[in-house]
Structure 1
Amino acid sequence: MNFERKGDWLLLKIPTQWENKNIEEIFASYLCASRKQIHLFKMEKKVQLNNQNVPWTTTVHKGDSLKIKLFHSQPNTITPTYMDLSILYEDDFLLIVNKPDSMDTHPNDQVDTTSLLNGVAFYLLANGEERQLKHIHRLDRDTTGCILFAKHELVANMLDHMLRERDIKRTYIAVVHGLLSKKKGSIDKPIGKDRHHSNRRRIAENGQHAVTHYQLLKKYPNKNLSLLSCTLDTGRTHQIRVHLSSIKHPLAGDTLYGGTPIFTRQALHAVNIQFKHPFTEETLSIYAPPMDQPEIFPHEDWNHLLRG
């Protein structure tokens, strides 16, 4: 996508595939804007074609300039809280953060100010950005690694669409009990709530469809542990934890699903996130180094190990 930022405005050059579409069609089909967002853009006159306010039914042509007021200050309801964050990637549209353990991705209620979302809100404010910040996915409180945030609602809608279409690939690393006999495999088992334990999930015939793919990276015979990489076709609560437990290889440290407490948390880390940037169209592949002290995962060149 051919674009540039000028102050509060995003300038898009109309590409060939948008030829003869009207502005509303572009926002709905290509920019994934909701009806509410389109209504607000219209009412607040935040969109221009060739520097003019025109009806949204106006047809565009290749080379036209579509201006969107996207980068102005936008108050939100997130309470900013200072945190020492590990920012893995950032641009005008989004950022990726390496989440530590013992932290929720987003607030659990209106008075919660200790989540990663609160910390990112502070980080942006400290850099002069007041944004309608949104997390695109989440991690369990004691799972670490890559979390993707959108800085604007429009960008959030585009990323949400990509996530639903499985165009955002997330790779996890896990340390499990036992020595796996297979080098790779897939677990296709539905997951539902555990009626006897409100915080647990279980394999359930009437549960939600769930598929996890895993690959053996290393074995540690002296400790009876294995290092795996995992990718998901679905994103169910506790999916990797439940699936690996179901094949008798629970995560080390995951006492909720049969692991023993050899670590202070479950040994699960979102090591990589990969997707095509919705505006630059560059393929981003961002790695998050594990930050545990004491260490849970070995020092590795994760790019090399996962590709190998």
Structure 2
Amino acid sequence: MIESVKQGKFLVVTIPDDWKHYTIEGIFKDYWKVPKKMIHEWRMGKAVTVNDQKIPWTSLLKPGDRLAVPVFEDTDDLVAATDLQISILYEDEHLLIVNKPPGMDTHPNSAGQADTLMNGVAHYLLSTEQPTMAKHIHRLDKDTSGAVLFAKNRLSGVMLDKMLEERKIHRTYLAIVHGLLSKAKGTINEKIGRDRHHPTRRRVSPTGQTAITHFRVLERDPKKKLTIVKCSLESGRTHQIRVHFSHIGHPLAGDVLYGGKAVFPRQALHAYKISFIHPVTEEPIECIAPFLDSVPIFPDFPLP
């Protein structure tokens, strides 16, 4: 664990033993892998200190040194604040994990839209007297529920973006599909691209982007001819789980866009778990997102 504390606009990090061969610049460039533009801003701003002193960035750091970096800066409100009574799963100075209900967009898609998860996050931050900088690191479809990760400052934002790109943020889903899957587990490795005949639909395409979905059967319902599966992704393509299961002949229950029957008021897809190593403190983070449907879709069994 990396010891750190917020002091005003500064993140103050206590240098651990295994950082003793790094310089200030080395921490930013090689360890945190901060973008050049942000490093340049910090250098020109001349606010970075070690033990409250401004020292050359080429200086080697010693265990116990206190490195102060101005990461908690005020930003303009990007979206309107709306009280949506959002459910917080985890929060610290750097990030926020929110349980998105079904029927809610992750972010505004048009000017003036104020009923999205981002609007609810903006209200929460404002009501708790925090800077209202919030950046969603990934998104969920409107009718998919579950955990969504937000960054609360620019440093955590760029670090989490890189972690997502490098597949270091693990998201696990529950889905109910039509039919009885014969395999207990499997992998769907099919590229996904846009459907030229529909503005929002995606399809399996040899010219699309690589998309890999792993699944494991949790329960089969022979009477209703439905199967509950746990899914994990090696990629994060739009509608990936929905497209993949439709492609193998088992569309998600309730997902009429991809051939499912309207047996539920929405597609039966829930992002129930997110796990990763915290980008700043390096602590393991794991959150389980309870179901929020007013009309239950998933059976009442312990989340795997």
Distance 2:246 2:191 in 1: 13
Q: Report the alpha carbon displacement of residue 282 of structure 1 after superposing the two structures with TM.
A: 2.0
| Alpha-carbon distance change, 161 to 84 in structure 1, aligned in 2, over 3 angstroms | same
Amino acid at match of 2:293: D
Q: 1:72: Cα distance to partner?
A: 4.7
Superposition pairs for residues 76-155 of structure 1, below 5 Å?
A: 76-155=77-156
Paired residue for 2:169? 168
Corresponding residue for residue 63 of structure 1: 64
Q: Which residue of 1 aligns with 2:284?
A: 283
Give ranges in structure 2 of 5+ residues lacking alignment.
none
| Greater Cα offset, 119-128 or 63-72 | 63-72
Q: Is the 8 A contact 2:172 2:232 kept in 1?
A: yes
The equivalences for 1:230-245 within 5 A come to 230-245=231-246
CA distance in 2, matches of 1:59, 1:106: 43
Q: Secondary structure at the match of 2:123?
A: helix
Other-structure match for 1:18: 19
Q: Do the aligned partners of 1:102 and 1:141 also contact (CA within 8 Å) in 2?
A: yes
CA shift at 1:109, angstroms? 3.4
Deviation at 1:56, TM superposition (A): 2.7
Which residue does 2:260 correspond to in 1? 259
Equivalent position of 1:29 in the other structure: 30
Greater shift in the superposed pair: 185-194 or 278-287: 278-287
In structure 1, the residue matched to 2:185 is 184
**Matched residues in 1 for 2:300 and 2:170: separation?**
23
Render the CA deviation track for 1:168-200: whole Å, top value 9, x for unaligned. 110000011001111100000111111111111
Secondary structure of the corresponding residue to residue 67 of structure 1: strand
The one-character-per-residue Cα deviations of 1:214-252 (angstroms, maximum 9, x if unpaired) are: 110001111111111000001111100000011111000
Secondary structure in structure 2 of the residue aligned to 1:245: helix
Within 2, Cα distance between the matches of 1:279 and 1:33? Answer: 12
- Partner of residue 76, structure 2: 75
Q: Could you list the per-position Cα deviations for residues 38-81 of structure 1 after superposition, in whole angstroms to 9, with x for gaps in the alignment?
A: 22222333311111123333332232210123335433322211
1:144 CA drift (Å): 0.6
Query: For residues 300 and 84 of structure 1, what CA distance do their matches in structure 2 show?
Result: 26
Runs of 5+ consecutive residues of structure 1 not aligned to the other structure = none
Give 1:281 shift: 2.1
Q: Distance in 2 between matches of 1:161 and 1:131?
A: 22
Distance in 1, Cα, partners of 2:37 & 2:114: 28
Q: Distance in 1 between matches of 2:93 and 2:131?
A: 12
Matched, 1:45 2:23: no
The aligned amino acid for 2:260 is G
| Aligned partners of 2:156 and 2:280 also within 8 Å | no
Please tell me the residue identity of whatever aligns with 2:47: K
Question: Counterpart amino acid of 1:252?
Answer: A
Q: Deviations over 1:3-43 (max 9, x none)?
A: 23334332212223332322122112222322222222223
Correspondences of 1:288-299 after superposition (within 5 Å): 288-299=289-300
1:210 aligns with 2:211: yes
Residue pair 1:253, 1:266 contacting (<8 A) in 2 also: yes
SS in 1 for 2:260: coil
Supply the AA of the counterpart residue of 1:267: A
Amino acid aligned to 2:124? Y
**8 Å contact 1:32–1:154 — kept in the other structure?**
no
Distance 1:159 1:45 in 2: 25
Normalised TM-score (structure 2): 0.95
**For 1:121, what is the secondary structure of its paired residue?**
helix
Query: The residue matched to 1:154 in structure 2 has which SS?
Result: helix
**Which whole-Å CA distance do the structure 2 matches of 1:126 and 1:29 have between them?**
37
TM norm structure 1? 0.94
1:200 is aligned with what amino acid?
A: R
1:279 deviates by: 2.5
RMSD: 1.5
Give the counterpart letter for 1:181 in structure 2.
S
Aligned residues: 303
Structure 2 residue 3 is the aligned partner of structure 1 residue 2: yes
Moved more, 184-193 or 277-286: 277-286
